[in-house]
Amino acid sequence: MRERRLSLLDDDLVEYEQAMARMAELVKRRQEDAIPDTLWLLSHHPVFTAGARTLGQHLPAPEHGIPVIATGRGGQLTYHGPGQLVGYLIVKLRRDEGVVDYVREVENRLVLACDKLGVAAERRETPPGEQLLTGVWTRRTGRKIASIGMRASRGVTSHGFAINHDGDLTPWDWAVACGMPATDTTSIARELIEEGREVPGAADLRLAIRDAFDVVPQP
């Protein structure tokens, strides 16, 4: 991976629509070179978000009571909720780099973070003609542990990734996440508890992500 230092914004729970408004402002400021490349870490209250390619039949039933919000990012349907760490990436792409190239880099950096927390992980290549396998999977169980959906506007990325730490995984069963009905979604806690191992705390996950993404130390 090429060197890329990121500045950090660090929050706890933020309403999804409030986060989208702030992210749009951050993208505008990055396009104007008013801020450096930035990683914004946060979590959301329960919400399903639908990417541009989401099919109607993949949406959750209304009786579950979790809102569904359409987004401008790539990818398909995903879920956000407590116990999941979201990372929004406001990054100016290099001249020889497209958003798909950067998504591959994000996958590799998330693999590094998972490995540091004791969960062996991998990114996957998409076979020709198959559904895109964007994201990160566990090596031991083949479950999906991190989702990625991004876009670029005037050379600057937005949206990013979500990695499951120790939250309730039930909502993933109420819809078709990422357009893949057979995918078993997992978390760091689920993988490590199955092996009888200690689950790292939320602060440990944030530290692993900051290390994997070469975050510039805060003053």
Find the mean pLDDT for residues 144-171: 96
Look at residue 141 and tell me if it is in a domain. Answer: yes
pLDDT at 75 over 80: no
Find the mean pLDDT for residues 82-105: 96
Q: In the structure, what pLDDT confidence band is assigned to residue 1 with cuts at 50, 70 and 90?
A: confident
The domain total for the chain is 1
pLDDT at 131 over 70: no
Q: Write out pLDDT tens, residues 160-171.
A: 999 999 999 999
pLDDT at 73 over 90: no
Q: Across the chain, what does the average pLDDT equal?
A: 92
For the chain, what percent of residues have pLDDT higher than 70? 95
**Separation CA 13–CA 18 (nearest Å):** 11
**Separation CA 16–CA 171 (nearest Å):** 17
pLDDT for 177 equals: 78
**Are residues 86 and 43 in contact, defined by beta-carbon separation less than 8 angstroms?**
yes
User: Domain of 73?
Assistant: 7-212
Q: In the structure, what pLDDT confidence band is assigned to residue 57 with cuts at 50, 70 and 90?
A: confident
Task: Give the list of residues 6+ apart from residue 219 with CB closer than 8 angstroms, or none.
Answer: none
Look at residue 217 and tell me if it is in a domain. Answer: no
Look at residue 219 and tell me if it is in a domain. Answer: no
Q: Which two tokens stand for residue 142?
A: 């083949």
pLDDT at 106 over 80: yes
Q: Looking at residue 71, which CATH number applies to its domain?
A: 3.30.930.10
77, 178, 205, 212: the catalytic one is 178
Look at residue 1 and tell me if it is in a domain. Answer: no
pLDDT for 132 equals: 65
114 is catalytic: no
Considering the entire predicted model, what is its pTM? 0.93
pLDDT for 176 equals: 79
Q: What backbone phi and psi angles, to 5 degrees, belong to 26?
A: -65, -40
57: left (phi over 0), alpha (psi -120 to 50) or beta: alpha
Look at residue 54 and tell me if it is in a domain. Answer: yes
Look at residue 192 and tell me if it is in a domain. Answer: yes
Look at residue 2 and tell me if it is in a domain. Answer: no
